[in-house]
């Protein structure tokens, strides 16, 4: 009788242990690790990011007064800094876009955080947003390329410039030949 009872208790103990999940492993991630953006005050600037994981994620963006890698330093909201943010707040894995529009020049440091719904798991990406006052196109080399992309009909301007350069070149060749003929 003792053997049957001990066997039953041992069987029950093993059965319960096998039913309990001791390890939970999940895979979540966000890429890139850091987003650095440069723009002008009042202009919308965007970047893409990717999120992996088999969860529904809830997102938020927090800001800090100084550049830091400590999440506890990120306590400011976008509204407090005058930054409009455009990003998906409830998402699943995939590729997404985050955009910002700031109303004051300066450097801003933030973090976009996504928490897996119903868990304590989360991921984040550091944000560095640099805004300058609107200036002329050639005042800052870091912004020249962005401004050129925004110009309409840039191809027409370049073709016209090339055409005028060829006209001047042919005219100079013509004058040079004419001058040689007079000397001969």
Cβ pair 87, 101 in contact under 8 A: no
Check residue 20 and report its DSSP letter: S
* pLDDT higher than 80, residue 62: yes
Angstrom distance (rounded) from CA 126 to CA 176: 62
pLDDT of residue 16: 74
Q: Verify cis geometry, omega within 30 degrees of 0, for the bond prior to 19.
A: no
3-state SS assignment for residue 138: coil
14-58 pLDDT, tens digit per residue, is 777 766 655 556 788 899 999 999 999 999 999 999 999 888 999
E strands, the chain, in order: 29-31, 34-40, 45-52, 57-64, 83-86, 90-91, 94-102, 106-116, 122-132
Higher pLDDT, 102 or 7: 102
The model carries a pTM of 0.61
Higher pLDDT, 119 or 184: 119
Residue 76 burial (10 A CB sphere; 0-12, 13-18, 19+): middle
């Amino acid at each position: 009788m003792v053997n049957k009872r001990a066997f039953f208790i041992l069987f029950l103990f093993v059965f319960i242990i096998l039913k309990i999940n001791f390890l939970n492993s999940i895979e979540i991630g966000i890429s890139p690790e850091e987003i650095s953006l440069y723009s002008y005050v009042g202009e919308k600037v965007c970047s893409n990011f990717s999120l992996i994981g088999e969860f529904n994620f809830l997102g938020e963006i927090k800001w800090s007064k100084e550049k830091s890698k400590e999440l506890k330093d990120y306590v400011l909201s976008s509204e407090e800094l005058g930054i409009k943010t455009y990003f998906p707040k409830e998402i699943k894995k995939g590729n997404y876009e985050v955009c910002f529009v700031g109303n004051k020049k300066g450097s801003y440091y933030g973090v976009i955080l996504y928490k897996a719904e119903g868990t304590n798991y989360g991921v984040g990406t550091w944000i560095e947003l640099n805004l300058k006052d609107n200036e002329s196109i050639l005042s800052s080399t870091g912004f020249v390329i962005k401004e050129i992309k925004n110009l309409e009909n840039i191809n027409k301007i370049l073709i016209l410039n090339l055409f005028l350069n060829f006209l001047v070149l042919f005219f100079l060749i013509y004058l040079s030949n004419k001058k040689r003929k007079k000397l001969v």
